[in-house]
Structure 1
C-alpha cells in the first residue's frame, strides 16, 4: 500500500504523503488573510497553529513556535477545507453500462482511490458519497480514516435504494446480463414499506453513514419513463422513519416536481438535484428546513451524442429549466449545501460549480462558499469538527491567491491543501496575489 501514498510531483505541485510523526509535529501557518467563518469578515495577517491534526491556536500577526514546521502563505487567503455533499467515487462520465462485467471489486477500489485523490488535491477535504455499488467505497473510507491512504473524509450511503427497474436499479442490458451482473438485492431495489425498511436496516448494518434513495426517475438512467415519482408515499415514509430511528439522515435523488414534493412531505433531510422544484414545494422546504443539494454541473459530464434517445430527451428538457432550483432556493431562503454529482460530472473539477451558483442563483460568492463549508458541515451533522477554522476543529484548510469573496472562481485554483494537519498540496504562494 505504501506505493499508493508515496509523495509525487505533478507539474510543479508538491503532493505530500503523511510521514511518521507528521501528525504529531506542530504546523505553523502564516497567512495573509484568514476566513475563519465563511460569511464573516476575514482576519488580516494571522498565524494558525496545528497540533495533532486539530487547530490549536489562531493568533494575530505572524509568530513562531519552537520546533514547528512553517508553511508560508503570507500572499494567500486561508479558508476551511471544502465539502462536496454529492459525489460518486466508484464511477466517472466515462464508465460504461456493462463495466461490472469487466471490473473486479479491487478495480473499483483503486479507481475510487484515484478519484478521491483528485478530489482532495482540488481542495475538497470532505465528501458525501451518495451511491456507489458494493463495498469498495466502505473500504476506501475506512482506509482513509485509519491513515492507510490519503483522501478526503468520506461519509457514505452505499447503494441507493430504488423501486424495481427505477433509477438506481440497473437496466439497459438484456435480462440474463442484468440478473448476472446486478442481482435484485445488490442494487438496493425494494417494493413496499416492509422491504424498503429492511433495505435501510441492511445499509445501517453494513456501515452506511446515511441513506440515499431515488424518489424519481433519473436523467441518465436508460428508461424512457420520465422523471416522475417512483417510490410511493408509503415507501418513502417507511424509509425515512426507519432511517431516523437509526440515527441516519436520508438524501433523496428527486427531479420531477411530484417526487420532490412527496419526498419533502415524507421528511427526507435533503433533496438532491431538485431539477423541477416549484414554488409551492420551495416554500415547504424552507418551512421544514429541508436542504437542497442543487448539483448544477449534473449535465456537464455527458454530451447528447453519448446518450441513448431516451436520455437525450431528458437531458434536453433538464437543460431548459437549468438553474430554476437554485433561484427558488435563494428566493425562498432554502438551506443549500454544495454538491456536484462528481462521477456523473468529472472528478477533481468540483469547484467549477461555484461560478454556476453565483451566475444562476444568483448567490453571492460568500453564500456559495458557505454552502461548501459551514452549511455543508451542518447537513452532515459535523459542525463541531468541520466547516470553519476554529480552535478544536479538524485542521482541514485550503489557500488561494486572492479574495474568494470577490472572485469565487479562485476556488478552481487552490494552491495549498491541508487535511488533518497534513500538507497534501503546496505550491509557492504568490506574494503579490493577496490584496
Structure 2
C-alpha cells in the first residue's frame, strides 16, 4: 500500500537526484569502463593455431586466427598478432570440420546382421547410435551423410533432430532413413519362409510405382537423401554381385527425390550396377569396386561423385574365415588402389566415407582418408575429399567444408601437419561445431576451455 509518508520520501529522493544533476553543471557524464562481454559457456570468440589448411587453395596458412561470432566465421587472417580474446591452440593445424560421406551410425555389427535386427530393441540400437555419434564428433567429424539405418524405420531422423537441438552430442546428420532395395536384393538372407513378418534392413520394392511410393514415404518422414541399392550379392555364401533395382525403378525414385530437392546415393559395385545407377541419374556411387575407365568417364561427365569406402573393406578381412566371401573380399581389396587412382585420373570427384557398421569403428573415421593416401591420393587430395568434396556432395559447400568468412564455424585441430603426414587426422585435440567447443583434449588435462563439457577419453588416442 502506498502511504502519504512513502510518497513524501519518493519526492525527497527525486529532488536530491535532480539537484545533483544541476550541481553537475555542464560536466559531461563519465561512463564507467565496461569489460567485454564473456561468450556463453562452451563458446569462444576466436582461435589461433600455428597452421591452417585451406582446401580450396590446397595450402597451409601460418599463424592463422579465425574469429567467430555466434555460429559463423567472421574473419580468417594470417600472421595475426597475439590477442587476449582469442584462444591460442598452439602448435596444431586447423582444418575444416571433417565430413563422413558414408556412415551407418545406427548400426552395430557386434553380432550377425540378422541378430542385430531381431535381438536388439529399436530403443537400444538408438542408444548405440547416440554413443557412435558422440565418438564421431570427438574424432573431428562435424557432419555425417548417413546412408541407411539398417532396419530402424525412421529412428535416425529422431537422432538427427536430437543432435540438432543439443540434446545429445554428434555430427550434423544428413540421413537416408530406410534405404530402398529390390525384393530379394538386400539383407538379411536365409530367413525362414514361415515368418509372416520378415525382418529387413531396407524398404523392399518391386516395380516403378512401389519405388515411387517408397521415395515419397521416406521424404515425407524427413529423409535428407535417398539411398538405392543398384546391385547386391545373390545371397549368402559369396555369390556374385548382380543388378537388382532396374534403371526404370531407380529413375522413378530419383525423379521424386530431385523434384523435392533431395540427392540420391546408389550402392553399386558391379560395372552394370554402376552403369544402371548413373543412367538413372543418381548423384553418387557408393563403393564402385568394378568401375572401369569408361564408366568413370561417364561419372565425371555427369558430375557423379565416388565414395569408395576403401578402409572398411580392408578392415573386414579379419572378420571372414577362408571361403568364397573372403576370396571375393581379397579381390576387392587388391583392386582398390587401381580404382582410387583411376577415379582421380579420370577427374571424378571423390568424397570419403568410412562405412562404419560397428561401434568399435566409429571414432576412427579418419582411417578412410589415411587409406586413400596409401592407395594413391596425395594428402591434400585426401583432405579435400574429407572436407570440401563432402560438403559439395551434401550440397552444403556454401556453409561447411572450408574455413572462410561467412561459413559455419566447424573447426578441428590436429597435431602435426596433415598435408605432410595424413596420419595427423587421427590425433585430434580440439573440435568446434556451430561455433561451440565440442571437444577439447584439455578437458582431460585440466586446462579446459569449456568446463561444462562432459569428460571422457579421446576415441583415437
TM range (shorter): 0.7 to 0.9
CA positional deviation for 1:62: 3.5
What SS does structure 1 have at the residue aligned with 2:412? strand
2:97 aligned with 1:81:
yes
Give the TM-score, by structure 1 length.
Answer: 0.86
Aligned to 1:104: 121
Asked if 2 retains the 8 angstrom alpha-carbon contact of 1:93 and 1:346, the reply is no
Pick aligned residue for 1:158 from 154, 158, 177? 177
**Aligned residue number for residue 199 of structure 1:** 214
| Distance in 1 (alpha carbons) for counterparts of 2:362 and 2:351 | 18
Counterpart of 2:342 in structure 1 is 328
Question: What runs of 5+ residues in structure 2 fail to find an aligned partner?
Answer: 1-38, 444-461
Is it true that 1:138 corresponds to 2:154 in the alignment?
no
Pick from 226, 230, 233: which aligns with 2:244? Answer: 230
Q: Which secondary structure state, in structure 1, belongs to the residue aligned with residue 47 of structure 2?
A: strand
* Deviation for aligned residue 1:149: 1.3
Counterpart secondary structure, 2:89:
strand
Residues 13-67 of structure 1 deviation map (CA, whole Å, 9 limit, x = unaligned): xxxxxxx9336x54321211212445432221122122212212323413436xx
Looking at structure 1, the residues matched to 321 and 194 of structure 2 have their Cα atoms a distance apart, in angstroms, of: 23
1:191 deviates by 0.7
State the secondary structure of the residue aligned to 2:408: coil
2:301 is aligned, of 287, 303, 306, to 287
> Structure 1 residues 247 and 422, CA, compared in 2 at 3 Å: closer, same or farther?
same
Matched, 1:358 2:376: no
Matched, 1:180 2:201: no
Corresponding position of 2:228: 213
Q: Which residue of 2 aligns with 1:424?
A: 438
Correspondence for 2:51: 33
What secondary structure does 2:290 align onto?
coil
Q: Which residue in the other structure is 1:10 paired with?
A: none
> How far did residue 313 of structure 1 move?
4.2
Q: CA RMSD in A?
A: 2.4
Q: Distance in 2 between matches of 1:388 and 1:147?
A: 23
Within the candidate set 109, 117, 120, 2:137 is matched to 120
C-alpha distance in 2 between matches for 1:56 and 1:110: 36
CA contact (8 A) 1:354 1:408 kept: yes
Q: TM-score, normalised by structure 2?
A: 0.81
Secondary structure of 2:204 counterpart: coil
**2:420 corresponds to which of 396, 399, 406:** 406
Mapped pair 1:170 → 2:185: no
Deviation for aligned residue 1:382: 0.1
1:237 and 1:267 in contact (8 A); partners too? yes
Aligned residues: 401
Indicate conservation of the 8 Å contact 1:26/1:52, yes or no. Answer: no
The secondary structure found in structure 2 opposite 1:78 is strand
Task: Give the match for residue 262 of structure 2.
Answer: 248
Q: Where does residue 316 of structure 1 map in the other structure?
A: 330
Structure 1 distance, partners of 2:192, 2:270, is 28
Task: Give the Cα separation in 2 of the matches to 1:383 and 1:205.
Answer: 25
Q: Retained in 1: the 8 A contact 2:412–2:432?
A: yes
| 1:225 CA displacement | 4.0
Query: Gaps (5+ residues) in structure 1?
Result: 1-19, 430-435
Equivalent-residue separation in structure 1 for 2:59 and 2:336 (angstroms): 32
Q: Secondary structure at the match of 1:172?
A: coil
Deviations 1:141-161 (CA, angstroms, capped at 9, x unpaired): 000111111210000101111
- Tell me, in whole angstroms, the C-alpha distance in 2 between the residues paired with 1:64 and 1:176: 71
Q: Is the contact made by 2:233 and 2:239 (CA closer than 8 Å) also made in structure 1?
A: no
Deviations 1:61-112 (A, max 9, x none): 13436xx5x4321211111010010000111342422223222221011100
CA contact (8 A) 2:211 2:249 kept: yes
Contact 1:47-1:63 within 8 A present in 2 as well: no
